[in-house]
Amino acid sequence: MTNKRIQELEEKIEDLKKRWPAHSVPAALLQELDDLEEELANELEKVQRGETDA
């Protein structure tokens, strides 16, 4: 499940960056990116520790 979640998060981040405006980025987009990147980092850390969500 973790690897699937990592792929899902990476896709969401990529999609968000495609929608990113050149100027005046709304705070909501910044927060969403921060949340996704934090969750991705947590999932990657789980993989490094050998943890999985079964």
Which domain, by its residues, includes 18?
2-49
Domain count across the chain: 1
pTM as predicted: 0.83
The whole-angstrom distance between residue 46's C-alpha and the CA centroid of its chain comes to 14
Q: What is the pLDDT of residue 52?
A: 65
In a domain, 54, yes or no: no
User: How does pLDDT run across 6-54, given as a tens digit for each residue?
Assistant: 999 999 999 999 999 989 999 999 999 999 999 999 999 999 988 766 5
Distance separating alpha carbons of residues 13 and 21, to the nearest angstrom = 14
In a domain, 31, yes or no: yes
